[in-house]
Structure formats: structure tokens, C-alpha cells
């Protein structure tokens, strides 16, 4: 019991007493979750409370202002809200709670626990928009990052501090793959943002990862799809801020965001609500700028020696290349894993399409022999895939193309190399050794 009270008492002792008059605003208009409040001047990003029934209040966030009125977005439903309800500001605008207290916990977009545990007391805060550093503080990617997945470690080796996209249509295995990486990766801290996904998957994930050995270095920030768009956006900011906080302390952080597309959807909803014109596929420019900024926050820090390796899932339906989120993500990320529905339908999991996947830093971080083997592997799978129908129909005559002959002979073993059961972890060293054994032997 004492353990529960101690941090609260310490908080009370440390915080300055606020004896100033309390300012209230009044709700003047409300439509579709958007509130207009008169008489309350608070900055964008501030959290407010709206009293809607005696002794009860709703949370709202300031998202802009217009004609002297403050525009806010409710974080919940607008049940029982009436005109003239009182609104007051709460907490420190633009700052999100971070810190060691969150390790081993699952929280929502406001940083409140959803795992049924004790309240989290952290006196540390971090700006929700991040701390802007000069481009030269970003030290280059030099060390390989161990994902625990053989196909990725061997053929698209990623680096510590790299930003990676996992692109695939729905139901091809993005969430299962990041789940494997969250378990298998070597990192000091793993921060997982589950934004706009199914509530069932959130509870599954929390149950599995918060009982595992890595519990004490994992934080889950989960905002399911049915929550208000600004809460989803806040969740993404909270996860990123948390990662930046640990990086500033010199830790090697893995930040996972499932999914970046849903974050863009949330930003789109808010932009449209504020009257911004929708441009590409209905995305206002600010929505795409939001995800660019979010992704740019990952990377290595020269000052602290810490790093944030970012892994973002992107929903790319079919081979649709003109989706603005896919386009933006592809241009800003330094590598992508493409999952293929064809491979998934053939039962090959993880369904990594090696020919389409790419790590832009691989050549800087692995030895030349490894690069050479990876190129060989790619050439063999590409050659088999290009002639697959021909081979299956029996129309190919052996001997016509030595490369294809070798690809056909090795096909089973190549496919087995790419596959990996969900529970297995294959580290970097073993992945490279197995690749060498496969192609060299």
C-alpha cells in the first residue's frame, strides 16, 4: 500500500502549488466531435476538461482556433453535452508523460494504464512534437540491427537507427511479422504503438508480450480504431516521444508503429474537420506532413549515442502505387519489407517478397561476401519466379538456362530458407551462416 502512496505524496511535495484564479470557457457550438469554446485562451495541443454532468467531465484537446473561438476535439463520445457547459485547461500543453515508470506497462493515448495495473506516476515530460535537432546530429547507420527473422537478417539486413516500412495489403501478415520482430529483435527498449487497429489484436498483443521475458523493457501504447482521431494521433506521438526520451538517455530503442496508414487517416480526419481542402485521395497536405514528421523523428543520435530504429506498417492494397501514404512512406523510409499475397496464399510465412524488399543501408553494414551471397539468392528467386508458370506447365527444357536450372534444383531449399515459424528466433550470425551454407555448400 505504501508503495502506491509514496509516488503520489512525492508528486504533491515536488509540484508547485497553483493558487491563481481558475479560468473557464463555455461551449458555444458542437458538431461531429468538434467543439467551439468561447472565452478560453489556451494553446493548440492543450488538454481540457468539459463538464457535462454534475461531477463528471469529458476530455478534449485543442486543435485550432477561428474567429476568437477555440476549437477542440472531444476524446470520447459527446453524450449529455449541452450548450454553455464549462471548459477548463488541464496539465501542461504540448508535453506528454514519459519515463521508466512506463516500462512493462500498456497505456492509452493519454498515457493512462489499460492493463489494469496501478496508476503510473512519472514526473518526466517530453514535447509531443519532438525536440528538433540539427540534421548533423543524426549519426549515420553503421551497425546491423538484429530482427530475429532469418529472411530479413540475411537478405535485407537492416541497421540500428534505420526507418523501415512493412508494406502489404490487408491480411497478408504485417501484424504477425512485427510481432515476431518485437519478440526476436535485440534492443534495450521496445516501444509498440498499436494505432487504429482492432481492439481484439491489442488485447492479444498485450497479453502475449506483457507476460513474456522482455516485459520489463517493453511499452505498449494502444489506441484502437474506434477512438477519436486526435486520440489516435496522440497515441502515435506518445509512442514516438517515449522512444525519443529513451534515446536521449543513450538507449537503443526499437519503435514499432502498427499502422502508419491509420495515423495518416487520423490526421486526415482532423485536417478535413478544420476545413483544410483534401488533395491527393482526400488527404490534406497536413496529413502527409504529419507522417513525414513522425517518421523523421526516428534515427541515431550523435549527442547521446542512443538510437531509435523505426518499424512502420503501411497498408498498400494490391499493387496500388498511387496511394499517397505509400508514396510518402516509400520516399522517406530507408528501407521497406514488401509482403506478397501470392506467397501468403501458398502458405509461405512470413510472406516476404524478397525481390521487392530493400534495405538502403545494407551495403554499408555487412561484409562484401555476405552482400554477394544475398545478391545470388535474389537472382535465383527472381529467375524462378519469372519462369514459374513455364516450369509448372512442364514447358521448360532443362539445360536451356543454367541459372534457372540451379534455381529449380534449389527451389525447395530457397523457399524453406525464407519461411520461419512464428515462435522461432534466428539471430544475425546464424542467418548469415545459414545463407552461406545454403549457397556455398
For 273-294, give one letter per residue: b (16+ CB within 10 A) or e.
Answer: beeeeeeeeebbeebbebbeeb
CB of 41 to ligand ATP, least distance (A): 41
CB of 31 to Mg ion, least distance (A): 32
CA-to-CA distance for 178 and 192, rounded, in angstroms? 9
Is residue 174 a contact residue for ligand ATP (CB under 6 A)? yes
According to CB under 6 A, which one of 170, 320, 363, 372 is a site residue for ligand ATP? 170
Q: Are 149 and 181 within 8 A, CB to CB? A: yes
Q: Which does 168 bind (CB under 5 to 8 A by kind): ligand ATP, Mg ion, none?
A: ligand ATP
Is residue 172 a contact residue for ligand ATP (CB under 6 A)? yes
Which residue bears the cell 493558487?
19
CA-to-CA distance for 254 and 298, rounded, in angstroms? 9
Q: Are 339 and 173 within 8 A, CB to CB? A: yes
CB of 315 to Mg ion, least distance (A): 8
Is residue 350 a contact residue for ligand ATP (CB under 6 A)? yes
According to CB under 6 A, which one of 175, 290, 348, 381 is a site residue for ligand ATP? 175
- Closer residue to ligand ATP, CB minimum distance, 303 or 356: 356
CB of 320 to Mg ion, least distance (A): 17
Is residue 202 a contact residue for ligand ATP (CB under 6 A)? no
Is residue 56 a contact residue for ligand ATP (CB under 6 A)? no
User: Which residues lie closer than 8 Å to 49 by C-beta, 6 or more apart?
Assistant: 57, 58, 59, 60, 87, 88, 90
The x, y and z cell numbers of residue 76, run together, are 470520447
- Closer residue to ligand ATP, CB minimum distance, 205 or 283: 205
CB of 315 to ligand ATP, least distance (A): 5
Number of H helices, E strands in the chain: 14, 19
- Closer residue to ligand ATP, CB minimum distance, 3 or 200: 200
Which residue bears the cell 508480450?
209
CB of 205 to ligand ATP, least distance (A): 11
User: Which residues lie closer than 8 Å to 338 by C-beta, 6 or more apart?
Assistant: 167, 168, 316, 352, 353, 356, 357
CA-to-CA distance for 48 and 43, rounded, in angstroms? 11
Q: Are 219 and 241 within 8 A, CB to CB? A: no
Look at strands 307-315 and 299-300 and give their pairing. antiparallel
CB of 332 to ligand ATP, least distance (A): 21
Q: Which does 349 bind (CB under 5 to 8 A by kind): Mg ion, ligand ATP, none?
A: ligand ATP
- Closer residue to ligand ATP, CB minimum distance, 153 or 241: 153
Q: Are 13 and 7 within 8 A, CB to CB? A: no
Is residue 171 a contact residue for ligand ATP (CB under 6 A)? yes
CA-to-CA distance for 23 and 25, rounded, in angstroms? 7
CB of 274 to Mg ion, least distance (A): 29
CA-to-CA distance for 358 and 158, rounded, in angstroms? 9
Is residue 261 a contact residue for Mg ion (CB under 5 A)? no
- Closer residue to ligand ATP, CB minimum distance, 98 or 256: 256
Binding segment toward ligand ATP, per CB under 6 A, in 12-20, 174-182, 243-251, 275-283:
174-182
CB of 324 to Mg ion, least distance (A): 20
The x, y and z cell numbers of residue 180, run together, are 515476431
Instruction: Tell me the three state secondary structure of residue 427.
Output: coil
According to CB under 5 A, which one of 175, 307, 340, 420 is a site residue for Mg ion? 175
- Closer residue to ligand ATP, CB minimum distance, 60 or 151: 151
Binding segment toward ligand ATP, per CB under 6 A, in 164-172, 231-239, 299-307, 379-387:
164-172
The x, y and z cell numbers of residue 397, run together, are 527444357
x/- track of binding to ligand ATP for residues 276-315 (CB under 6 A): ---------------------------------------x
The DSSP output letter for 213 is G
- The DSSP-derived string for 122-163 is --EEEETT-----GGGSPPP-SEE--S-HHHHHHS-EETT-E
Residues near ligand ATP (CB under 6 A) are 168, 170-176, 315, 349-350, 422
Residues near Mg ion (CB under 5 A) are 174-175
Amino acid at each position: 500500500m505504501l508503495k502506491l502512496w509514496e509516488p503520489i505524496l512525492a508528486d504533491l511535495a515536488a509540484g508547485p502549488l497553483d493558487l491563481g484564479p481558475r479560468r473557464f470557457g463555455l461551449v458555444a457550438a458542437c458538431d461531429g466531435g468538434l467543439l467551439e469554446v468561447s472565452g478560453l485562451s489556451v494553446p493548440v495541443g492543450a488538454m481540457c476538461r468539459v463538464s457535462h454532468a454534475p461531477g463528471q467531465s469529458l476530455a478534449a484537446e485543442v486543435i485550432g482556433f477561428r474567429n476568437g473561438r477555440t476549437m477542440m476535439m472531444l476524446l470520447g463520445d459527446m453524450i449529455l453535452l449541452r450548450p454553455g457547459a464549462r471548459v477548463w485547461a488541464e496539465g501542461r500543453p504540448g508535453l506528454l508523460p514519459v519515463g521508466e515508470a512506463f516500462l512493462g506497462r500498456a497505456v492509452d493515448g493519454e498515457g493512462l494504464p489499460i492493463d489494469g495495473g496501478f496508476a503510473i506516476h512519472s514526473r518526466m515530460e517530453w514535447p509531443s512534437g519532438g525536440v528538433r535537432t540539427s540534421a548533423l546530429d543524426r549519426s549515420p547507420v553503421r551497425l546491423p540491427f538484429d530482427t530475429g527473422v532469418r529472411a530479413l537478417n540475411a537478405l535485407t539486413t537492416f541497421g540500428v537507427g534505420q526507418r523501415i516500412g512493412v508494406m502489404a495489403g490487408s491480411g497478408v501478415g504485417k501484424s504477425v511479422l512485427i510481432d515476431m520482430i518485437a519478440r526476436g529483435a535485440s534492443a534495450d527498449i521496445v516501444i509498440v504503438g498499436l494505432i487504429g487497429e482492432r481492439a481484439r489484436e491489442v488485447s492479444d498483443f498485450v497479453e502475449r508480450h506483457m507476460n513474456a521475458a522482455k516485459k520489463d523493457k517493453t511499452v505498449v501504447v494502444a489506441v484502437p480504431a474506434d477512438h477519436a482521431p486526435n486520440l489516435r494521433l496522440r497515441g502515435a506521438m506518445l509512442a514516438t516521444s517515449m522512444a525519443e526520451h529513451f534515446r536521449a538517455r543513450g538507449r537503443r530503442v526499437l519503435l514499432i508503429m502498427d499502422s502508419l496508414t491509420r495515423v495518416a487517416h487520423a490526421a486526415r480526419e482532423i485536417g478535413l474537420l478544420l476545413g483544410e481542402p483534401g488533395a491527393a485521395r482526400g488527404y490534406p497536405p497536413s496529413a502527409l506532413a504529419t507522417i513525414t514528421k513522425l517518421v523523421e523523428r526516428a534515427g541515431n543520435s550523435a549527442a547521446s549515442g542512443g538510437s531509435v530504429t523505426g518499424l512502420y506498417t503501411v497498408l498498400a492494397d494490391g499493387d496500388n502505387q498511387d496511394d499517397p501514404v505509400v508514396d510518402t512512406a516509400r520516399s522517406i523510409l530507408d528501407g521497406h519489407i514488401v509482403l506478397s499475397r501470392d506467397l501468403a496464399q501458398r502458405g509461405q510465412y512470413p510472406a516476404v517478397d524478397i525481390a521487392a524488399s530493400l534495405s538502403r543501408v545494407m551495403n554499408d553494414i555487412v561484409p562484401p561476401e555476405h552482400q554477394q551471397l544475398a545478391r545470388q539468392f535474389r537472382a535465383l528467386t527472381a529467375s524462378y519466379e519469372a519462369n514459374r508458370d513455364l516450369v509448372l506447365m512442364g514447358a521448360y527444357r532443362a539445360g536451356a538456362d543454367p541459372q534457372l536450372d540451379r534455381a529449380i534444383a534449389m527451389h525447395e531449399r530457397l523457399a524453406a530458407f525464407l519461411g520461419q515459424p512464428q515462435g522461432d528466433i534466428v539471430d544475425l550470425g546464424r542467418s548469415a551462416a545459414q545463407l552461406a551454407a545454403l549457397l556455398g555448400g
